[in-house]
Amino acid sequence: MGLSRLNRIIAVIALIFAVFYGWNYLFDARRPPCYTVDVKYFGANIPSSNDVEDFSIKPFKIPFERSQVDDMIDRVRKTRFYEPQILVDNRNTNKSTYGFNRQTAESIQDYLINTYDWKKTVQELNNFDHYKTNIAGLDIHFVRITHNSERNEKKDAILFLHGWPGSFLEYLDVARLLNSSTINNYDLIIPSLPGYGYSDAPVRAGMSPIQIARIMQSLMQRLGHSSYVVCGGDWGAIIGTNIAQLYPGHVRGLLITMVAPALTWKHYIHLALAHYINPSILLDYDEQEYLGKRFDASQYLKFMWQEGGYFHLQATKPDTIGYALNDSPLGLATYILEKWSRWSNTQNDVDQSMNSGLDRFTLDQLLSNVMLYWTTGTITSSMRLYFEYFSSILSGHDNKILNGPLAASVPVAIINYRNELAYLPRTITRAKYPNIKLWVFHNSGGHFASIEKPQEYYRDVEKFLLQL
């Protein structure tokens, strides 16, 4: 009798669990995720309820000041190089063991003093249409490139989002290619993130990627686009993901070159099994071919240990390093260009190259990006994004969106480049991005692919658009 009663109790409990998990699977698990974002103001003067918001979009020209250039050259000429240098033996010590190579830095010093022409760069950049509009108390800068077609003709709107230590310059070559396309008619929007380049820097705390996502959605709405495609790498990939999470009904598609999902214990177990037992536990055949014979997590952890110091510094004390970088143009150049070198090359590429692997770009491309930070004085405000992102993780306030997936209605393209900072297996990536329409492998290219490989990037964008 007692056993029968126990069986009934167990049966009732089992039924309750079955109903609960069945309901969750059939309804809650399939329900599109719903995320929210706090509305924050980042300008100096908080408007009153009676103030009328300024929705105007104003033309903007990049300024050129000769005094800025003269001051920069004077500072570069007076650079105090460190002494002594560590001797290279090619066994225990190579050209980049201790950081950015001294000889490369000296060649950049010479190029800045004797060759580089910022005035010419400004003139070329001003051939594009630049604008500013005020959102959340900040003047947001953007470039707009569009066909001169009939007003009512349908245009595919594409929002390009850069990262750090990049800028809107990264997407100009791709935009030129898209604008010359005979397949589609585009409206290309390339903003500077808040605190970068010609966009205002926040004077109030809390400018996280999620807040930038809200600002970018407002920008696209203001430009008349209720539906658009988002393309991004680095912070642009994270912000683009947040836009797709918050506004899935407005995002026609998301194309990213770097995946940054929230890993669960299940994923860590998968990674460990793939590393210690067999990669096929986690990786599809084409992924194994792409990555090589061995999926070596320990090598990746070693790489991140060597390359991740900047992240910890900028996520904890960005203003401290900001004093040095905002005061020394050559210091700023080496700090930024080390990332462009290391994030676009293998260790061997860096050490065998005459100029630390920077030959994947022209010096004018590299130094124009550096000068953008220097002339606007935005290196410190740009690095604060790391602090805000890390703070949002630690606070737990945004855990739902940070750890949650996109709605299955948002098509996604993942473009993988050989020398990108990280590769995340397709199986794990799907947990964050359930509707992957395009998964591409490139055997060259790195973190700054849109400027390093503009032709390939352009072709992938068009290929993705054809699937939408």
Helix (H, G, I), strand (E, B) or coil at 412: strand
Helices of type H across 24-133 = 66-77, 102-114, 118-125
Q: How far apart are the first and last CA of the chain?
A: 64
Helices 329-342 and 102-114 meet at what angle, rounded to 10? 120
- 297-336: b (≥16 Cβ within 10 Å) or e: eeeeeebeeeeeebeeebbeebeebbeebbebbbbbbbbb
Look up residue 73 and give its two tokens.
């050259």
Q: What is the dihedral of CA 32, 159, 169, 350, to 10 degrees?
A: 30
Which residues is 156 bridged to in the sheet?
A: 186
- 100-125: b (≥16 Cβ within 10 Å) or e: bbbebbebbbebbeeebebeebbeeb
Question: Which residue matches tokens 């010419």?
Answer: 120
Look up residue 288 and give its two tokens.
């194994």
Residue 337 and residue 366 in contact, taking contact as beta carbons nearer than 8 Å: yes
Residue 442 and residue 453 in contact, taking contact as beta carbons nearer than 8 Å: yes
Residue 230 and residue 244 in contact, taking contact as beta carbons nearer than 8 Å: yes
Please list the active-site residues. 234, 386, 447
